[in-house]
Amino acid sequence: MITQSPLEGVRIFDLTRILAGPTCTQLLGDLGADVIKVEKPGVGDDTRTWGPPYVKGPDGQDTNESAYYLSANRNKRSITLDLQTPSGIALAKKLISKCDVLIENFKVGGLSKLGLGYEDIKQEFPTLVYCSVTGFGQTGPYASRAGYDFLAQGLGGIMSITGDPDGEPMKVGVGIADVMTGMYASTAILAALRHKDATGEGQHIDTCLLDTQVSWLINEGTNYLVSGKIPKKLGNEHPNIVPYKVFATSDGHVILAVGNDRQFQDWCTAAGAHDLKNNPLYATNPLRIANRETLYQAMPSFMENKTTEEWLVELGELKVPCSPVNNIKQVFDDHHVQHRGMRIEMDHHAAGSGKVPLIGNPVKMSGTPPQYRLAPPTLGQHTEEVLEELLDYNEEQIQSLKDESIV
């Protein structure tokens, strides 16, 4: 039996835009938090215009809802609020008083200029969990710089180990520094809420793209710290496991990820590569790493003897890890991906079909699973609702705010 959502009763004042912050608050929204997305009147989140593609309206024409915006903004209520006015700041504080969390991704010091920095409001809201998401953090020589995912990937080292060994430095295909910063921020917020529940104390969380990028250098970063050797680009190869790369087959490509010596022996059997199986140079993973060049020269002739499907079937039966290289259409057509609920649809009043397709939450929980309550909102869709519900404003008060262009 499904109980209430785990974060039901938690309210978030969301001053973020683009991807890192919105990813964080979407995750928390999926788990039941009431996310109040605060946007600039008439403008909104920058990503609303980051298209095409856009959702098609009833007339078949593009709406103002970009696919990029949709990707990180479900389970939120959008309000418009002008923070450049004293009245807007006063209204913001009234709303903050009703919230457990404030998350923002202004440049360092940006909200302090408006009187909404952590040091400005922590005395007034001592239980507030305040999360800042920036490019380079609240401290340090780069703190004042504007932060973008691409810059973090370059400065954080991942581009130096990504791509073909003879090619130019290569970024990851999606904004992974943004996305992972959002994930780290969501974890930190949950920990801070736990602390607040235990002590009644709020705190300031400082997360940034560069720290996140450095953290997920993972084994390659630690390889350098332990050995002093600077990792280099290996293309699709692995620095610590061989064989582990993409191979051409007779009709396409297949990924082979041999994680232990038994798997290598079984691959040799399936391939008919008896000389490789019995060669002492390839008997163990450390030896295969030392002799990767000659092994990788020998393997393609065997891999090209069979189709991708033949390899998938044969190696699957032997429990040798392997996979096709899917394009995005093939990903969402995959029966396992569909079974896992990774493609969802949500009702959306601006869509001509009445629905928008989205990527599902990857977390599965037996008692309190993520729920898809609210489609990504249109700009200011919930302004009146939120002001009535949280502050008990009446129609006349709300209209006055609109007349003054505060909301």
Convert the pLDDT of each residue in 345-378 to its tens digit: 999 999 999 999 999 999 999 999 999 999 999 9
Longest Cα–Cα distance of the chain, Å, equals 85
Run of H or E residues at 204: strand 203-208
Convert the pLDDT of each residue in 216-227 to its tens digit: 999 999 999 999
Q: What percent of the chain has pLDDT over 90?
A: 99
Three-state SS at 104: strand
Pairing between β-strand 244-248 and β-strand 253-257 as defined by DSSP bridges: antiparallel
Q: Is the pLDDT of residue 6 over 70?
A: yes
CA dist 320 and 317 (Å) reads 8
Convert the pLDDT of each residue in 193-211 to its tens digit: 999 999 999 999 999 999 9
Query: How high is the pLDDT of residue 1?
Result: 53
Nearest C-alpha neighbor of 25 from the set 209, 152, 183: 183
Q: What global pTM score does this model have?
A: 0.94
Convert the pLDDT of each residue in 48-78 to its tens digit: 999 999 999 999 999 999 999 999 999 999 9
**Amino acid identity at 91:** L
Residues 6 or more apart in contact with residue 192 via CB below 8 angstroms? 129, 131, 202, 203, 205
The stretches of 147-305 forming alpha helices (DSSP H) are 149-155, 176-199, 209-215, 218-227, 261-271, 274-278, 285-290, 292-303
CA dist 393 and 399 (Å) reads 10
Point out the catalytic residue in the list 30, 149, 178, 266.
178
Convert the pLDDT of each residue in 307-339 to its tens digit: 999 999 999 999 999 999 999 999 999 999 999
Domains and CATH numbers, the chain: 11-216+336-403 (3.40.50.10540), 244-326 (3.30.1540.10)
Beta strands in 42-182 (DSSP E): 54-56, 62-66, 76-80, 101-104, 129-134
Run of H or E residues at 36: strand 34-39
| C-alpha count within 13 angstroms, C-beta hemisphere, residue 287 | 11
User: Does residue 149 have an active-site annotation?
Assistant: no
Residue that is written with structure tokens 């780290």 in the block: 184
